[in-house]
Structure 1
Amino acid sequence: MQHCQNIRLSGAHVLRAETLVFEDVALEQGLITDDLPKPGNSTIDLSGYLVLPGIIDLHSTAFERQVPPRPDSGFPIASALWSVGQEAAAQGITTAWLGQSWSWEGGKHGPDFAETFLDALADYRQTAVTDLRVQLRCDIHCVESQERLLEVVRRYGIDYIIFHNQIPQRLDLLGRDRTEFEQWGLQAGYDPEAYVALVRATARLTPYAPRFICSMATAFDAARIRYGSSGDRDAPTRAYYDMIGARICEFPTAYAPARVARIQGNPIVAGAHDVLRARSQIGGSAAIDLVRNGLCDALVSGAVFAALSKAAFSLGDAGIVQFGAAWHMISGAPARIMGMSDRGEIAAGKRADLVFFNQGTRRIEGTMVAGRWSYLRGGLADRFAMTSQATLSAAE
């Protein structure tokens, strides 16, 4: 969509420093500015609207509904990514990391598909408005693809990696629920016996995982990559990952690893959808309880982009945290975690990454990335159209 011209937004409630205030916001050359109005600049009346920092999503799998599981499906991944970007924009998301696996399972979770996906994303990013990136989810048993992984990280400029370990869960299912175990295999493209063999062979690589993790951590540190671990089950696991530099604690399954993360100053990430459901998707501590006990820094969308804004409003409405603090968990906090000092808050000099809510309906009517519309609809579109027409008439 087109750039929004240098304008002043007036009459809205604006979230600054986690507080809703009634004041103007000036935009110039894609940035937020505190400058006084200049001749020729337009003022837009946004009474009845909330103007909030654009949402930053550290982990989404919503794209899996759009992206075909095989590159030869006949539907280009690049086309699917445009749909993903549009869906994210419609939910107020300005920056998002798509969680692509690098796993021993192969198929859509394997290295081959990951490279194909990264190629398509690189093409998308050349002309896209919504800032889509990749969170590479590296299974710790991929010890035989170490050099390939590092080359891919360098080639595509990957800036966020999460270690995870699927083997304990798969082995548990193998002994406890063979039907569910086989479903996982079928989804990955294996018949039951082949999947049993694959899981058992991969489990035998467990003794090599610690050296692999440490080697990866050293390389990630050298490249200044943010990285962490997912699904920490206990305090020693979180302490181990903290020790090697994997600071980000994503989806801890109990209070103990979350408490260790808090003590060590590690960012804690929980699922927004789990907050709305008041429980954990992976059977551990309820995400909403982590928030209530000060053990959550950022919320992520997971499978549903819309969960982020809904969770922020829900937390504020319930009085669990103030609304400004809740919104910070999906804007300023993720920006800080990823070292993105140019976005995440409405302040002079920051990028004009903004989301506009109709205050009465709480529906998103506009999303802006660096001063460019990625989404615009409804009454908000009408107000900007009227201002543009008035500007043209005055120029005549």
Structure 2
Amino acid sequence: MSLSLRLEGAEVLRPGGLIRGSVGIDGGLLCDDLDARGVDLSGYRILPGIVDLHGDAFERHLAPRRGAMKDMEGGLRAAHAELAASGITTAVLAQFWSWEGGMRSPDFAQQMFGALGRVADAAVIDMRAQLRFEINMVDDYAAVEEAVARHGIGYVVFNDHLPHERLSKGQKPKRLTGMALKAARSPEAHWAMMQALEDRRGEVPALLDGLAARLGAAGVRLGSHDDHTADDRAAWRARGVRIAEFPETQDAAEAAQAAGEGVILGAPNVMRGGSHKGNASALDLITMGLADAIASDYHYPSLFRAALFLAASGLMEMPAAWGLVSSGPARLLGLSDRGTIAAGKRADLVILDAADQVAAVIAGGRVAHMSGDVAARFLG
């Protein structure tokens, strides 16, 4: 059952900034002038719920140790708890469909999508799937398309993790043994499989053109991952792929923005002050205005911390900084019912305490997380 309450006395993030006032919640939606029980939240701040466009930290809940995955639905429920405690009210779980095997294999992806469908029905936060497809899997295009339709997946991202330069020379990839162990293959079998994919690389463009066209026509959001050049972005644009996830260079990010396409950067990159792989700094790209959204990538708590850091550092005003984790990603996903605090929007709220910690989270008008002293305010 959703709440019917009037939250009073807190600073509320509106488009113009933090303004002391009240927020009504009724029937799962935000409303003004609600005649309902009031909750005094003086000393707290109320912000729009976070929309996470791309996160794979759920993997640690599904398999806390290699081979220790026994209860996929239980793992997703544990991930739900972490998402809620991190202020995330809409979560897109990025699941690989890849030759890399293990938790990135097609079989695992099918199991995960099925489990997520069962868990999401009872979840408080909005949990959705993203399918990350390794484009060199030329025999899997039909299966991917079928999985997208069967599981109602609304966001597909195209990846290419094959080490083409080494494979084209017949050289073994770096860290081959580690990759093979994760895939439960021998190093020789893993290398042979990668080489076979490389040998069929010429089939990829036509297959990709067809798949992207059909998915786009079905209303699926399409993204590319780790674009390196403006030409990379132009090639994806020609296929109707309008979202650039984690562009590796300023050139790629500028090309996407110049074409009116969405640019997503990683929150851990913001908090680290740079990419762990030596790619473009998210801070630099944000400072240049080359970001539409920030995603959790591999660490859920980094999202709210990154937004607060951008505001506290003076790089952005609070509405713009928080917009990178709320209204910006909501827009890219086409979710016009959330991302801001306004009457008629979905009641997705993050309540921060004076120490900038997530004290409570409300998703769709229901309590997703509550911790510490704020609980006494709600319970009266």
TM-score, normalisation: structure 2: 0.95
In the TM superposition, residue 380 of structure 1 has moved relative to its aligned partner by 1.1
In the TM superposition, residue 90 of structure 1 has moved relative to its aligned partner by 0.5
> Structure 1 residue aligned with 2:194, among 199, 209, 216?
199
What SS does the aligned partner of 2:143 have? helix
Give the direction of change, closer, same or farther, for the CA distance of 1:170–1:107 in structure 2 (3 Å limit). Answer: farther
Residue 61 of structure 2 is aligned to residue 66 of structure 1: yes
Residue 379 of structure 2 is aligned to residue 385 of structure 1: yes
> Structure 2 residue aligned with 1:47, among 31, 42, 46?
42
Mapped to 2, the partners of 1:297 and 1:220 lie a distance apart of: 23
Amino acid at match of 1:27: I
Mapped to 1, the partners of 2:375 and 2:183 lie a distance apart of: 44
In the TM superposition, residue 187 of structure 1 has moved relative to its aligned partner by 1.8
Give the direction of change, closer, same or farther, for the CA distance of 1:297–1:221 in structure 2 (3 Å limit). Answer: same
Cα root mean square deviation, aligned: 2.1
> Structure 2 residue aligned with 1:24, among 8, 19, 22?
22
Residue 9 of structure 2 is aligned to residue 14 of structure 1: no
Preserved contact between residue 54 and residue 353 of structure 1 (Cα < 8 Å): yes
Mapped to 2, the partners of 1:185 and 1:147 lie a distance apart of: 26
In the TM superposition, residue 185 of structure 1 has moved relative to its aligned partner by 2.2
**Could you report, residue by residue, the CA deviation over 1:187-207 in whole angstroms, capped at 9, with x for unpaired residues?**
222222122111111111211
What SS does the aligned partner of 1:224 have? coil
Residue 162 of structure 2 is aligned to residue 167 of structure 1: yes
What SS does the aligned partner of 1:184 have? helix
**Could you report, residue by residue, the CA deviation over 1:302-323 in whole angstroms, capped at 9, with x for unpaired residues?**
1110000110111111111112
Look up the match of 2:357: 363
Question: Which range moves more in the overlay, 180-189 or 254-263?
Answer: 180-189
Provide the identity percentage: 38
Question: Which range moves more in the overlay, 179-188 or 167-176?
Answer: 167-176
> Structure 1 residue aligned with 2:332, among 315, 334, 337?
337
Give the direction of change, closer, same or farther, for the CA distance of 1:378–1:237 in structure 2 (3 Å limit). Answer: same
Mapped to 2, the partners of 1:185 and 1:71 lie a distance apart of: 13
Preserved contact between residue 163 and residue 173 of structure 2 (Cα < 8 Å): no
Residue 284 of structure 2 is aligned to residue 285 of structure 1: no
Residue 139 of structure 2 is aligned to residue 149 of structure 1: no
What SS does the aligned partner of 1:330 have? coil
Amino acid at match of 1:137: R
Mapped to 1, the partners of 2:167 and 2:302 lie a distance apart of: 30
Structure 2 gap ranges (5+): none
Look up the match of 2:369: 375
Structure 1 gap ranges (5+): 387-396
In the TM superposition, residue 179 of structure 1 has moved relative to its aligned partner by 5.6
More helix by share: 1
Give the direction of change, closer, same or farther, for the CA distance of 1:143–1:178 in structure 2 (3 Å limit). Answer: closer
What SS does the aligned partner of 2:340 have? coil
In the TM superposition, residue 245 of structure 1 has moved relative to its aligned partner by 0.6
**Match runs of 1:101-140 below 5 Å:** 101-140=96-135
Mapped to 1, the partners of 2:171 and 2:11 lie a distance apart of: 53
In the TM superposition, residue 37 of structure 1 has moved relative to its aligned partner by 3.6
Give the direction of change, closer, same or farther, for the CA distance of 1:191–1:12 in structure 2 (3 Å limit). Answer: same
Mapped to 2, the partners of 1:138 and 1:74 lie a distance apart of: 22
Mapped to 2, the partners of 1:250 and 1:221 lie a distance apart of: 17
Give the direction of change, closer, same or farther, for the CA distance of 1:81–1:174 in structure 2 (3 Å limit). Answer: farther
Preserved contact between residue 170 and residue 199 of structure 1 (Cα < 8 Å): no
In the TM superposition, residue 252 of structure 1 has moved relative to its aligned partner by 0.7
Amino acid at match of 2:370: L
Mapped to 2, the partners of 1:74 and 1:255 lie a distance apart of: 39
Mapped to 2, the partners of 1:173 and 1:187 lie a distance apart of: 23
Give the direction of change, closer, same or farther, for the CA distance of 1:378–1:176 in structure 2 (3 Å limit). Answer: farther
Mapped to 2, the partners of 1:53 and 1:183 lie a distance apart of: 41
Mapped to 1, the partners of 2:168 and 2:56 lie a distance apart of: 23
Look up the match of 1:271: 266
Look up the match of 1:391: none
What SS does the aligned partner of 2:373 have? helix
Look up the match of 1:3: 2
Preserved contact between residue 96 and residue 104 of structure 2 (Cα < 8 Å): yes
> Structure 1 residue aligned with 2:182, among 176, 183, 187?
187
Question: Which range moves more in the overlay, 88-97 or 203-212?
Answer: 203-212
**Match runs of 1:211-222 below 5 Å:** 211-222=206-217
Amino acid at match of 1:21: I
Preserved contact between residue 63 and residue 81 of structure 1 (Cα < 8 Å): yes
Mapped to 1, the partners of 2:129 and 2:42 lie a distance apart of: 37
Mapped to 2, the partners of 1:65 and 1:312 lie a distance apart of: 24
Mapped to 1, the partners of 2:185 and 2:64 lie a distance apart of: 14
What SS does the aligned partner of 1:23 have? strand
In the TM superposition, residue 283 of structure 1 has moved relative to its aligned partner by 2.2
Mapped to 2, the partners of 1:196 and 1:256 lie a distance apart of: 33
